[in-house]
Amino acid sequence: MLVTSNRLGRGLGYSVVLAGLLAGTAAWAGPTLDAIKQRGSIKVGVGTSPGFFAPDSNGKWQGFFVDFGRALAVTVFGDAEKVSFTSSSPQQRLPALQAGEFDILLSGVTQTATRSFKLGFHFGPIVFYDGQGLLVKKALGVSKAAELDGATIGIQSGTTGELNIADFFRKTKKSFKPVVIEETKEFVNALESGRVDALTQDASDLALRRIQLGKPDDYVLLPERLSKEPLAPAVRSGDDRWLEIVNWTVYATIQAEEYGITQANIDEFLKSEDPGIKRFLGVDKSLGEALELDPKFAYNIVKAVGNYGEIFERNIGKKSKVGFERGYNQPWSQGGLLYSPPFR
């Protein structure tokens, strides 16, 4: 493939381009995608909250974030199984991604400026709009965060929660005693054993943890949110094409929902006369060819894992054990924040 001046202008190192030409590889080929293709599967770092990511009774990983990992495997390999999932603590996972142990984190990582500028990560589209919450023992009789003055609060190390909770108490001029814990099990046990009065984490994570507790009704997730936690796929910087594959894989699920294309009705849509839908589903191959992807990649993703709404409902939606509302996590056309750029 020819190296265009445009590509050069996008900041590829000259020597990298030269090496690419000498090796006869495409100019956009990057180290992460190359390694994935050579290995034949994608390595995904996840967490352990059931609903988001957890192995089922057969040891097969299931969950909202897991399905995006499968969708990626469909884009790269046309096969939803060419992906492996490994859990890693919030403290360990970004360094592990940096060290190359993972190709991507789909683990509820919040996109922040520091993680992008200073730590060298890039983020794909936000897949879940969240906020930091507090899970509190009901017996405390607390209904809002400010009433936790003087409380002992469990925080998971390496999370955005560490700074957020400190900011909150500084802002409200109240005090708290932090107990910083790395391991998730120990973090949850701290609440049940009475070591802490409350836990703070992404509200979604706390809601998922609460239903796993021995006596869920003894605990309440306060309605307040202390922060914005836009959860997005995280990759190492340095491989633009891999990042674009992540971007457009997620967008495919969002765009499919906007079109009303589902796992069940997608074959009907193959007959659509709408030129946008024809391009999206690869009936018109021009888009896929221009992107150097299988023109049917979006079709294959929806066939394999469904559209965004189906992924949400299956794993964490109203009819699942978890019972989350869509809230911000619905298409912009229905009042949410999910918005895919155009497939053209």
Ligand X SMILES: N[C@@H](CCC(=O)N[C@@H](CS)C(=O)NCC(=O)O)C(=O)O
Q: Contact positions toward ligand X, by CB under 6 A?
A: 47-49, 52, 90, 107-110, 156, 159-160, 184, 201-202, 204-205, 229, 231
C-alpha gyration radius of the chain:
21
Give the bridge partners for 220, in sequence order.
Answer: 136
CA 215 from centroid of its chain's CA atoms: 29
* For ligand X, the closer CB: 30 or 50: 50
Token couple for 243: 């990042």
**Shortest approach of ligand X to residue 222 CB, angstroms?**
17
Half-sphere exposure for 214 (CA within 13 Å, toward CB): 6
Shortest distance (Å) from residue 310 CB to ligand X: 20
Q: Closer CB to ligand X, residue 60 or residue 344? A: 60
Beta-strand runs (E) in the chain: 42-46, 54-55, 61-62, 83-87, 104-105, 121-123, 128-130, 132-137, 152-156, 177-181, 198-202, 219-221, 229-231, 234-236
- CA-to-CA dists, residue 280 to 66, 253, 287, 313, angstroms: 23, 11, 8, 23
Q: Between vectors from CA 209 to CA 170 and to CA 337, what angle results, nearest 5°?
A: 70
Q: How far is the CB of 178 from ligand X (least distance, A)?
A: 15
Measured from the CB atom, is 32 or 49 closer to ligand X?
49
Q: How near is the Cβ of 53 to ligand X at its closest, in Å? A: 7
Nearer to ligand X, 116 or 262 (CB): 116
Q: Which is nearer to ligand X, 182 or 267 (CB)?
A: 182
Identify the CA nearest to 321 among candidates 60, 52, 45, 48. Answer: 52
Tell the smallest beta-carbon distance from residue 88 to ligand X (Å).
8
**Smallest separation, CB 188 to ligand X (Å):** 9
For residues 106 and 220, which CB has a smaller minimum distance to ligand X in the complex?
A: 106
Q: Which residues contact 80 (CB under 8 A, 6 or more apart)?
A: 70, 71, 73, 74, 304, 305
